[in-house]
C-alpha cells in the first residue's frame, strides 16, 4: 500500500488544552505520515488566557479559529458544534483529536461521532464521580463516543471498563501536561517574576481558585478568603486571579480584599493577573505550598514534588494523592487552614513517603500517542483497501 498523509484535526479550546496539545502537535508535525491541522474554538480568547500560551509553548498559530467566545455552557457547546461541524463537513479529516474536559472537548467529539469520523480523546477515563461538575459530564460523554482513548494514569482504564468501553480502545500513554512541563522547566526556573515580587524560595504560597462550587456563593467565598488571609499573615500568598473569580470577589463585597496588595511585595495576599505559563510554573516550582481547586495543577505539583492542598471534595486524578504530593482537604475553610498550617509551620508534607513521579510521567507521552495513531490509521487504511477489493 503506498504511503499517505492522514489529515488529523487537533482541537484546543481553553488554556489547559494548550499545555496538552503543544507537545503532541510538535510530534505530529515531525511524523511523515501525518498532516496535522490545529483548530482553536476560541472558548478562551483573551491574550492572558490564550495567545500567550501559543507563544510560550511554541505552538503555531491555529489553522482555524472558530471565535466562539464565552457564554452559558449550553450556548457555548452549541456554538462550537455548529461552527466545528461546518468545518468538518468541508475538510473531512481522517481523525479528530480532542484533549481534556472543557466544553469544546465534548462538543467537537460529538461532531466527530455524528459525522462518522473517529475521535481520539487525550486524558480519557478520569472521573471525579461528581456530575455537578460540568467537566465530569464532558469527560463521560467524550469517552463514550471516542474510538481511541489515551489515559494518563492506570485508574482511568478501570473507570472506562466499568462504563462498558472496550479495553482494546484504551491506551495508557502518560501525561502530555508533563511533556510540556519537562520541556519548559529550565526556562520557567529563569523567570524573573519571583524576583520582581521579592519572593524567597520555599517561603511563599501559590493560590488558584476558580471552580463555581468554591466561588459562586458569596458567603462561602468570603469564609475561604478569610482563611487564606490568615495564612497570608506570615507567608505571602501569590494569587493569580482568574477573571471569573475576580468578578465573584467583587460581587461578594469581601472587606478583606481592600487590604490586598496588587502585585506588590511583602506578606499578605499578592494578587496578579493570570500568569503566563512560564511565569506560573516558575512560581509553583519554588513555592512552599500550593492551594488549588484546579485539576492540572495537582499533576504539575506531583511531578515537581511541591506540596499541594486541593480545595475540593473529590479529585479525578487519584494518582496525585496516592503517589504524588497532593492532599485532598475538602471545602471547609477551617480544615484548609489547619492543613496549610501543618505543612507550613509543622513541616508535615502533604505527600506520603519518597517523591517519585507516577508511571509514564516522563516527558515522552506524545511519542507514545503518535505511535498508537500510526498503527491505528494504517490499520484503518488497510481495512478500507480490503473493503474496496471485496466490492470489486
Q: Of residues 121, 210, 242, 355, which has the active-site annotation?
A: 210
Cell numbers at residue 94, please? 481522517
Q: Is 73 a catalytic residue?
A: no
- Beta carbons within 10 angstroms of residue 220's beta carbon: 16
Scored b (16 or more CB within 10 A) or e, 121-138 reads bbbbbbbbeeeebbbbbb
Q: What is the rounded CA–CA span in Å between residue 121 and residue 149?
A: 5
Q: What is the rounded CA–CA span in Å between residue 386 and residue 379?
A: 11
Contacts of 18 (CB under 8 A, 6+ apart): 12, 50, 53, 54, 57, 59, 277
* Longest alpha-carbon distance in the chain: 79
Q: What is the rounded CA–CA span in Å between residue 123 and residue 222?
A: 34
Q: What is the rounded CA–CA span in Å between residue 257 and residue 1?
A: 66
Scored b (16 or more CB within 10 A) or e, 233-266 reads eebbbbbbbbeebbebbeebebeebeebbeeeee
Three-state helix/strand/coil letters over 230-262? HHCCCCCEEEECCHHHHHHHHHHCCHHHHHCEE
CB 126 within 8 A of CB 39: no
- Beta carbons within 10 angstroms of residue 385's beta carbon: 11
Give the HSE-up count for residue 96: Cα atoms under 13 Å, Cβ half-sphere: 31
Q: Phi/psi of residue 294, each to 5°?
A: -85, 155
Burial of 300 (0-12, 13-18, 19+ CB in 10 A): buried
CB 142 within 8 A of CB 165: no
Annotated catalytic residues are: 210
Amino acid at each position: 500500500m503506498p504511503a499517505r498523509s492522514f489529515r488529523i484535526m487537533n482541537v484546543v479550546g481553553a488554556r489547559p488544552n494548550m499545555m496538552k496539545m503543544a507537545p503532541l502537535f510538535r510530534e505530529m508535525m515531525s511524523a511523515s505520515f501525518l498532516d496535522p491541522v490545529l483548530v482553536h474554538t476560541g472558548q478562551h480568547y483573551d491574550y492572558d488566557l490564550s495567545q500567550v500560551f501559543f507563544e510560550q509553548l511554541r505552538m503555531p498559530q491555529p489553522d482555524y479559529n472558530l471565535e466562539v467566545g464565552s457564554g452559558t455552557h449550553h450556548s457555548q457547546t452549541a456554538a462550537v458544534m455548529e461552527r466545528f461541524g461546518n468545518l468538518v463537513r468541508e475538510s473531512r479529516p481522517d481523525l479528530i483529536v480532542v484533549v481534556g474536559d472543557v466544553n469544546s472537548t465534548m462538543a467537537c467529539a460529538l461532531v466527530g461521532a455524528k459525522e462518522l469520523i473517529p475521535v481520539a480523546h487525550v486524558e480519557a477515563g478520569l472521573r471525579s464521580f461528581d456530575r455537578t461538575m460540568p467537566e465530569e459530564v464532558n469527560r463521560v460523554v467524550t469517552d463514550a463516543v471516542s474510538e481511541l482513548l489515551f489515559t494518563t494514569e492506570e485508574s482511568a482504564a478501570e473507570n472506562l471498563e466499568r462504563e462498558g468501553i472496550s479495553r482494546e480502545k484504551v491506551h495508557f500513554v502518560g501525561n502530555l501536561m508533563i511533556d510540556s512541563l519537562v520541556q519548559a522547566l529550565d526556562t520557567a526556573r529563569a523567570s524573573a517574576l519571583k524576583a520582581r515580587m521579592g519572593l524567597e524560595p520555599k517561603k511563599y504560597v501559590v493560590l488558584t481558585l476558580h471552580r463555581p462550587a468554591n466561588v459562586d456563593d458569596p458567603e462561602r467565598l468570603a469564609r475561604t478568603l478569610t482563611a487564606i488571609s490568615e495564612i497570608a499573615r506570615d507567608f505571602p500568598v501569590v494569587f493569580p486571579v482568574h477573571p471569573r473569580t475576580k468578578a465573584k470577589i467583587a460581587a461578594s463585597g469581601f472587606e478583606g480584599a481592600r487590604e490586598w496588595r496588587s502585585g506588590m511585595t511583602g506578606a499578605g495576599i499578592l494578587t496578579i493577573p493570570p500568569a503566563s505559563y512560564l511565569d506560573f510554573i516558575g512560581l509553583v516550582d519554588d513555592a512552599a505550598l500550593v492551594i488549588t481547586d484546579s485539576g492540572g495543577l495537582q499533576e504539575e505539583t506531583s511531578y515537581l514534588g511541591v506540596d499541594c492542598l486541593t480545595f475540593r471534595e473529590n479529585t479525578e486524578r487519584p494518582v496525585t494523592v496516592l503517589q504524588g504530593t497532593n492532599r485532598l482537604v475538602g471545602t471547609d475553610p477551617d480544615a484548609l487552614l489547619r492543613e496549610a498550617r501543618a505543612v507550613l509551620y509543622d513541616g508535615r508534607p502533604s505527600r506520603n513517603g519518597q517523591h517519585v513521579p507516577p508511571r509514564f510521567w516522563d516527558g515522552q507521552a506524545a511519542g507514545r500517542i503518535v505511535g498508537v495513531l500510526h498503527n491505528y490509521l494504517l490499520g484503518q487504511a488497510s481495512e478500507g483497501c480490503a473493503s474496496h477489493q471485496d466490492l470489486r
